[in-house]
Amino acid sequence: MATLLQEILTNNYEFLANNKCTKEISKYPQKKFALLTCMDTRLVELINKALGIHRGDAKIIQNAGTSLIGEMGETVKSLLLTIYVFDIKEIFIVGHYDCGVALTSSKDILHNMRSRGVSEQQLKLIEKDFQVWLDPYTDPAKNVLTVIKKLKANPFIPNDIPIHGLIIDPHTGKLDLLADGYKEI
């Protein structure tokens, strides 16, 4: 039986044989927006289709829980890169209902790490980080608004960048608007 790696390599071989991808697409997003969303498996393909995003349109940042921790964490730095290097003009924060991150806690993950042999000494070093990240996050819609609030308070995000907040149904792709960024400009 083929391993997953073999399957992926075979898929790629077949993809290349069937897709003559000759058209060069710019790394600068044509629709000049950045999208921050979750890594949820159900959003694969769905979010692009549901929002009408095509190759070359946008910068898409995905992480666990559409989260944004720390004023200068990786997510913020990625967004700053999209603004100051890739010329994006708007930001979309798109959470989703039934987010697995909202259903987990620092206790759960630390427990599982302990079961897999991570030492108490090591766990102590990261415990606080995981508490700050996971434990306040129980409501995906509220999280979207919190992320927007944090970005608006960030002195490096220009005031003229609209930051929109939405939440998507991971089954149907239906979007609900939580915050219209144009109204805040």
Instruction: Kindly report the number of other CB atoms within 10 A of residue 180's CB atom.
Output: 13
Q: Least distance from C-beta 20 to Zn ion, angstroms?
A: 35
Q: Is 21 annotated as a binding residue?
A: no
**38 among the known binding-site residues?**
yes
Cβ closest to Zn ion, residue 79 vs residue 102: 102
Check the annotation: does 54 bind a ligand. Answer: no
112-116: long-range contacts, CB 8 A cutoff, minimum separation 24: none
The residues that touch Zn ion, with contacts defined as CB under 5 A, are 38, 40, 99
Q: Which is nearer to Zn ion, 67 or 82 (CB)?
A: 67
Q: How far is the CB of 37 from Zn ion (least distance, A)?
A: 8
H-type alpha helices, the chain = 4-18, 46-51, 74-84, 106-115, 120-134, 140-153
- How many other C-beta atoms can be found within 10 angstroms of the C-beta atom of residue 119? 10
Nearer to Zn ion, 82 or 143 (CB): 143
Question: Which amino acid type is present at position 146?
Answer: T
Instruction: Please report how close the Cβ of residue 158 comes to Zn ion at its closest, in angstroms.
Output: 28
Determine contact, residues 178/145, Cβ cutoff 8 Å. Answer: yes
Q: Which residues are annotated as a binding site for Zn(2+)?
A: 38, 40, 96, 99
Q: Which residues are annotated as a binding site?
A: 38, 40, 96, 99
